[in-house]
């Protein structure tokens, strides 16, 4: 069974296009992201404007590229934040005595009561919508997920002899964590990171739709859906394309996660 | 299980619930009132005079130390005295009841649709997993669970409201017209439910597939039980546990999703209230609202957790 899982291939394909567009937008976009061109407003997709133009004549491809960049950056940062806090917390839970770990578990689960939209709403009310607020709101929600997975995976590893041997050899707790525990629990964490990145993309799109994320005029996929929703009848591509890009990213993350789960579990 | 242990486990759950709610209130308060950023200035804007700021500080009780503010808020909550909206100058409680009458049926309807589509289709997909239609079903679910619910909502409006004129594209006529009110909730409930139904379907499918090769199913088959009886009495109860776990986590997604979907369909529910409170910097409404939603999620999750332990005989204390 050396043939690659079709889901891995398909997932990577789904992600490759959007990621390439996002990276390209760092250096070049076909038109200025917020460049108005009223003469060419609401053009359907054609050779000059592959994704068409919006009600101000702005090129949708250029805006989508910048929006993808913001979405991907937010999703990666949020997932990274959740993992960076959740994984050490999970290992601490696994390593501590039941009496101390049970309240920690409960405390971590408490975060589930604050879906990203609630946290982002509070942050947006104080400081206005921001990409950083979206990262914090989504990342915080990831903490208990990573903590649960890390705790479950670390528990059997911690009981093994080589951990005790390494401790006896004089490695400190951080050394044991980094060199021995983390490599042995990496597989389920990588799978979960892929799935959480997909959830983060969905959440980012929702938050920018509400205006709780990256504020306009910076293009965001959710913000575009909000702006173009009223043009649904006249220019359906304006609504179809940003939503399809979000779906493609999420599908890619999910396929990659599912494929990795089966491959790494063997 | 005797009455005393039931009572004890019930009491300990109640204690945990109280602690969790207290912690939720502490988190909400910490974010809104202790983080840098002056709520009064956020409400009045940058050009506010010092006198106006001082007056609002006094009205909101912001001139008191944070701990006193927190205790005063808790005291209000304990007596079910919610704040008064800064924007509308109406009590939050009065605002809430009308909003809940939209969001509660919307979320409950979405959950019902998600379960009633997800579970049967999951069972079908598990049964026919080696056939083309079963594989297609799983692929469709994989795609559907990747679709943003609010985008699906916009698409449903495009198809059913603008094109076929089946359903209203948004707005809410009020419960005085029950048929029209239900009609206004159908598309938003579907938009919320379909991606979650896809998630439940895939959980149900993989749970049933992992149960099938197990010994107790084989011995049930060897005893000559009918396939229907094996499914209902042996496979289904086992599969429902992981489904319930995921459904519990979906409560949080559904409520978060409802906020966005209500905005898409212009439904004046809790989500819109949250959206408006942020737009108006109405921190009094926001504080009560966030806590209410967080408390609802906590309560529902604990209920589902309790249900799961009742379903799973292994979890029962001996």
Q: How many domains does chain B have?
A: 2
Shared domain check, B101 and B51:
no
Q: Please report the pLDDT score of residue B290 as a whole number.
A: 92
Assess whether B116 and B21 both reside in one domain. Answer: no
How large is the average pLDDT for residues A53-63?
90
Separation of alpha carbons A211 and A221, rounded Å: 11
Residue A266: is its pLDDT beyond 60? no
Whether residue B84 lies inside any domain: the answer is no
Q: Is residue B83 included in any domain, yes or no?
A: no
pLDDT value of residue B148? 95
pLDDT value of residue B265: 92
Chain A residue closest to B287 (CA)? Answer: A122
Which chain B residues contact residue A224 at CB under 8 A? Answer: none
Which domain covers residue B167, as residue numbers? 92-315
Instruction: Write down the pLDDT at residue B37.
Output: 67
Backbone angle region of A244, left / alpha / beta, with phi > 0 → left and psi within -120 to 50 → alpha: alpha
**Tokens standing for B22?**
């207290």
Residues B256 and B307 reside in one and the same domain:
yes
Do residue B6 and residue B151 come from a single domain? no
SS3 for A1-14, per residue? CCCCCHHHHHHHHH
Q: Which of residues 134-153 of A touch B (CB under 8 A)?
A: none
Q: From the first residue on, what is the mean pLDDT of each consecutive set of 10 residues in chain B (318 residues)? A: 75 86 89 74 74 79 80 82 72 82 92 95 93 92 94 91 79 86 92 96 93 88 88 87 86 88 92 88 86 89 82 61
The last residue of one of the domains, among B48, B78, B108, is B78
pLDDT score of B316: 55
- ipTM for the predicted complex: 0.90
Contact with chain B for residue A225, Cβ under 8 A: yes
Shared-domain flag, residues B96 and B69: no
- Domain final position from B25, B51, B78: B78
User: What domains sit in chain A, N to C, each tagged with a CATH number?
Assistant: 72-265 (1.10.3720.10)
Q: Are residues B229 and B189 in the same domain?
A: yes
- Alpha-carbon Rg of chain B, whole angstroms? 24
* pLDDT of A99: 79
Looking at the structure, tell me whether residues B155 and B36 fall in a common domain.
Answer: no
Q: Is residue B86 part of a domain?
A: no
A210 or A126, higher pLDDT: A210
CATH code: domain of residue B194: 1.10.3720.10
Give the nearest chain A residue to B273 (CA atoms): A121
Structural domain ending residue among the three candidates B78, B109, B142: B78
Partner residue opposite A225 with nearest CB, options B37, B151, B259: B151
pLDDT at residue B9, as a whole number = 77
pLDDT of residue B318: 44
Between the alpha carbon of residue A177 and those of residues A91, A172, A174, the distances in Å are 8, 9, 5
Cα B89 → chain centroid: 28
User: Residue A22's pLDDT is what?
Assistant: 94
Residue B87 lies in a domain: no
Let me know whether B105 and B225 are in one domain: yes
Do B198 and B57 share a domain, yes or no? no
pLDDT at A38 over 90: no
Q: Are residues B55 and B118 in the same domain?
A: no
Distance from CA of A230 to the nearest CA of B (A): 10
Question: Would you say residue A2 has pLDDT above 70?
Answer: no
Is residue B85 included in any domain, yes or no? Answer: no
Closest-CA residue of B relative to A230 is B154
Residue reference for tokens 């919307």:
B106
């Amino acid at each position: 069974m050396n043939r690659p899982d079709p889901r891995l291939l398909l997932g990577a394909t789904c992600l490759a296009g959007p990621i390439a567009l996002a990276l390209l937008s760092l250096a070049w976009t076909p038109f200025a992201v917020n460049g108005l061109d009223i003469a060419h407003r609401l053009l359907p997709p054609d050779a000059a404007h592959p994704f068409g133009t919006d009600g101000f004549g702005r090129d949708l491809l250029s805006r989508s590229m910048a929006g993808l960049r913001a979405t991907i950056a937010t999703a990666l940062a949020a997932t990274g934040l959740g993992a960076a806090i959740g994984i050490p917390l999970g290992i601490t839970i696994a390593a501590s005595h039941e009496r101390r770990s049970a309240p920690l578990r409960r405390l971590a689960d408490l975060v589930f009561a604050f879906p990203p939209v609630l946290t982002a709403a509070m942050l947006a009310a104080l400081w206005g919508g921001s990409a950083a607020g979206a990262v914090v709101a989504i990342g915080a929600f990831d903490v208990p997920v990573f903590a649960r997975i890390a705790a479950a995976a670390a528990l059997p590893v911690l009981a093994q002899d080589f951990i005790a041997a390494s401790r006896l050899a004089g490695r400190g707790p951080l050394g044991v964590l980094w060199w021995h525990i983390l490599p042995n629990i990496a597989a389920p964490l990588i799978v979960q990171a892929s799935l959480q990145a997909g959830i983060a993309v969905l959440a980012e799109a929702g938050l920018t739709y509400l205006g709780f994320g990256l504020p306009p005029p910076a293009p965001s996929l959710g913000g575009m859906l909000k702006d173009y929703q009223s043009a649904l009848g006249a220019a359906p591509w304006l609504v179809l394309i940003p939503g399809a890009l979000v779906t493609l990213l999420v599908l890619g993350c999910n396929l990659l996660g599912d494929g990795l789960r089966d491959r790494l579990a063997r | 299980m005797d009455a005393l242990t039931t009572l004890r486990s019930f009491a300990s759950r109640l204690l945990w619930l109280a602690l969790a709610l207290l912690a939720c209130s502490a988190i909400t308060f910490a974010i809104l009132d202790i983080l840098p950023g002056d709520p009064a200035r956020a409400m009045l804007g940058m050009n506010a005079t010092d006198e106006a700021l001082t007056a609002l500080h006094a009205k909101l009780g912001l001139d008191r130390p944070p701990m006193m503010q927190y205790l005063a808020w808790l005291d209000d909550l304990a007596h079910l005295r919610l704040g008064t909206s800064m924007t509308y100058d109406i009590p939050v409680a009065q605002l809430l009841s009308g909003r809940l009458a939209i969001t509660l049926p919307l979320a409950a309807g979405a959950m019902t649709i998600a379960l009633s589509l997800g579970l049967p289709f999951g069972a079908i997909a598990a049964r026919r997993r080696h056939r083309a239609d079963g594989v297609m079903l799983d692929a469709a679910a994989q795609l559907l669970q990747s679709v943003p619910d609010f985008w699906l909502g916009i698409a449903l409006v495009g198809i059913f409201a603008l094109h076929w004129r089946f359903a209203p594209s948004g707005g809410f006529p009020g419960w005085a017209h029950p048929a029209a009110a239900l009609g206004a909730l159908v598309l938003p409930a579907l938009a919320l439910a379909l991606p979650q139904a896809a998630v439940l379907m895939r959980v149900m499918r993989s749970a049933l597939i992992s149960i099938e090769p197990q010994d107790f199913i084989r011995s049930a088959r060897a005893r000559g039980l009918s396939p229907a009886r094996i499914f209902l009495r042996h496979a289904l109860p086992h599969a429902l546990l992981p489904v319930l776990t995921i459904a519990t986590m979906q409560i949080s997604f559904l409520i978060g999703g409802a906020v966005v979907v209500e905005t898409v369909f212009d439904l004046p529910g809790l989500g819109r209230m949250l959206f408006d409170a942020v737009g108006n910097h109405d921190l009094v409404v926001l504080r009560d609202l966030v806590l209410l939603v967080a408390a609802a999620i906590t309560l529902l999750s604990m209920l589902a957790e309790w249900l799961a332990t009742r379903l799973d005989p292994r979890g029962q204390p001996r």
